[in-house]
A and B are shown apart, each in its own frame.
Chain A
């Protein structure tokens, strides 16, 4: 095969054994790779009703046919599993070098099943697969783990060429939103897949390979890559992201009135001046990137204010919004410390920020006594945030409660309406009372309130005024969200980053992507078959969730988004009018009034009889 390398590595931790299987070319055509293929394997092999932290759950590391090819942003891979945080299907998306290296070792997919009796790590060096004891690594932070694993490799180039996915103490202690971290630079953070690794007694995976990824039509491929690189150099939105990453979105969100603030009580933050581009640049030491990515969005940040320690490789908007404005913290430098704590202990900054923000509102409203926490927890209490983050990662003190996530916290305190999320996944930093399309995206994403499976800012914010969809209007949003979800699924499945889809006027990416995909694989994709693969995966994820017990009642938003008018800012008075969009969305999806795919739709997708 070209593009794909054609092999699946399956490691059984219970038996301490592994097998290598061929990748079925038909399956690759139907689901492409990464997210789509991961969903298919999970659906075929894991009962949707299984306990996510039991040995019956599996972790599917899957690359796409464009991962490691040099297609711009082609570093991506996904890890699919049933989520311990949400109970829904989940896929966390990674970059850095791990996915590319997995392909260079000769595997498109790594399936991990069962549970090891003792802590272990998996070493993959081309065809040499080993399960090795990891007791000496258990309890170590992420960077300690990576350093210790590399230290025993004698050859310096081989040590540096070995890429490591690991969990920190949070994953070991089954924090519900624990992350899988990649080397020391960011992680696969959403949906708690680090806890699934921890539940399997799997501390880390190290991979290094000397094999090749082949391209079907190298001349066309090189031409297509060069064309994308040239186009991005002239594209204002890409240039805005390039070298900057997403952090400047903080000030933009504040100006637009859609910045999650104090558990989304409002969309404008009075402390936003602590996050200006000037302060951001002062903290930025340099930028770094993932394999084959010219966007180099990851700012390496160190606080110039000695009050705040730590370092972050890849400060991003969501972290600034959810640990920052959402917790009332008015200093970007403080967020560097907070992010560093999350990275070292290995958990999601987004869920953590939402959970602490929720606790702060519960505390201020008198629904969460000081005695439970051990200290006062008002919005803006920076030291309390640091302390709670450390407690969450180690499951100590009140952190043990917070480690269950914001949904469980709000339930425990008797105020489920103060949980800001969907399907138990904490909502991203964009306010959906302002961005109506984002609201529909949050309500319908299979893994819960997730901004990036339909990044509607591409239509509602970025385009020039004459081409922009008014964010406050609901008309046309159902069609836009559906289209965006399907194309995003294709990008996620090919192994490309969302950045490759993000341009000011989202037209032409399908053709561009098809050009890359066909040049790389030569497999015979058409625009229709490629887009249908995205829709097929989206529907399969839906079916998994329906079988797991989710219903249309779960396609909703927090009451605050639906009923409490935005108190201030450019969108003052607005709520998210989900009911004006959802029925049309179901109809466009070919789902019935209960959000269940119809027999006709299933037949169209080749999923007959799956429900």
Chain B
């Protein structure tokens, strides 16, 4: 099967994935805050995060992740749509957003516009 592979070290922060996602799901609308992929920007580190399942409750994780010698609260990198964070939710109405890999068979639009190949759609056994 194919999986969406994220290599954050190749991401340069253009956010075309957010645009592509928005245009795919919202037809003629560009709104990154409604995208199912977001790029976390911390100075010059760019980490694409793809929306996963909704969780009903705030979790109790107490983890720190180190990327590029900078520390992140694991919560910031979490793909879940959850009650305590603003991302992966429709603004105002709070409906959870989840990546559906663009159709059947999956063919994600975000990958098509990722010029640096930070996002690839690859066959895994």
A residues at B contact (CB < 8 Å): 2, 68-70, 97, 104, 155-158, 160-161, 184-185, 209-218, 221-222, 225-226, 229, 285-294, 296, 300, 313
Please encode chain B, from 1 to 44, with 1 for each CB lying within 8 Å of some chain A CB and 0 for all others: 00000000100111110011001001111111110001011111
- Tell whether, in the assembled complex, residue B44 and residue A157 are in contact, meaning their CB atoms are under 8 Å apart: no
With A157-B86, A289-B12 given, name 15 new contacts (CB 8 A): A69-B19, A70-B23, A97-B41, A104-B31, A155-B86, A160-B41, A184-B43, A210-B33, A212-B31, A218-B28, A221-B23, A288-B12, A291-B14, A296-B14, A313-B44
Question: Which residues of B34-88 have CB atoms within 8 Å of chain A's CB atoms?
Answer: 34, 38, 40-44, 46, 73, 75-76, 85-87
Q: A395 vs B38: C-alpha distance in the bound complex, in angstroms?
A: 42
Assembly CA distance A273 to B41 (angstroms): 35
Interface secondary structure of B, over-half rule:
mixed
Give 12 CB contacts A-B under 8 Å. A2-B28, A160-B41, A212-B29, A213-B29, A215-B29, A218-B23, A285-B44, A287-B12, A291-B15, A294-B115, A296-B14, A300-B44
CB 8 Å contact bits of B88-117 with A (1 = contact, 0 = none): 000110000000000000000000110110
CB distance from A66 to the nearest CB of B (A): 11
Q: Which are the 10 A-B pairs with shortest beta-carbon distances?
A: A70-B19, A294-B115, A296-B12, A218-B28, A212-B31, A210-B91, A210-B33, A289-B12, A215-B28, A212-B29
CB-based contact A210/B116 at 8 Å: no
- A45–B84 CA distance with the chains assembled, in angstroms: 45
Q: Nearest residue in B to A147 (C-beta to C-beta)? A: B43
Residues of B within 8 A of A161 (CB): 33
B binding-site residues for A, Cβ under 8 Å: 9, 12-16, 19-20, 23, 26-34, 38, 40-44, 46, 73, 75-76, 85-87, 91-92, 112-113, 115-116
| B43 partner residues in chain A, CB cutoff 8 A | 184, 313
Please judge, given known A-B contacts A157-B85, A160-B42, A288-B12, whether A229 and B27 are in contact too, CB under 8 Å.
no
Min distance, Cβ A400 to any Cβ of chain B, angstroms: 32
Q: Please, which residues of chain A bring their CB within 8 A of the CB of B15?
A: 97, 291-292
Q: Are B31 and A155 in contact (CB under 8 A)?
A: no
B33 shortest CB reach to chain A, Å = 4
CB distance from B83 to the nearest CB of A (A): 13
Q: Is the CB of A104 within 8 A of B32?
A: yes
Contacts of B31 in A (CB 8 A): 104, 210-213
**B-side contacts of A225, CB under 8 Å:** 113
